[in-house]
Chain A
Amino acid sequence: NFMLTQPRSVSESPGKTVTISCTRSSGGIATNYVQWFQQRPGSPPTTVIYEDNQRPSGVPDRFSGSIDTSSNSASLSISGLRTEDEADYYCQSYDSSNPHWVFGGGTKLTVL
């Protein structure tokens, strides 16, 4: 089994760009797709990125996803930060060797 490690919190100013990392502990990050979910307080998670870098319809192009095999990590970047982007963000992938869906611990984004 592998783990996904995220920073506990990040903060940035409105209008800036922030990047949240998600590092896989073992096995290649490119082995299985990575998804990113946004969860605002009191609401269920919603998908902002799926299959590493795909954006669902309705998600602004300020959100982008990527993977980096050299650091074995995935990243979620949000540009032109708005106060409404303030939320918890979770990465998720899949352990195909022992079928389990794996979540990162979540990153609290503060926009101030």
Chain B
Amino acid sequence: GAVVSQHPSWVICKSGTSVKIECRSLDFQATTMFWYRQFPKQSLMLMATSNEGSKATYEQGVEKDKFLINHASLTLSTLTVTSAHPEDSSFYICSARVGGGYYGYTFGSGTRLTVV
């Protein structure tokens, strides 16, 4: 149980275009989802916390107008990279906390974004 489905798994886009990444919780309700970014051979850096029905909370240094997060339902959160540039090329991963007293988290399979 507790599966998060992330799509697409990879995407190539042209500079200046926007790309939307979706994360769905398949068998549970995720009131909170987390979006991470990972550069090659580096760790995951938290970008923002997405809360259902409210505005996302962004980490320091993350441009909220560039990385638009929408969490309109208990099972879907989206990250839109607007006006993408080559430096936005990265691996983006979403995560949701599995509820209850257990502090477990489940992760999507990630999206490899390449901006050309």
Q: Does A pair with B?
A: no
Identify the A interface with B (CB < 8 A). none
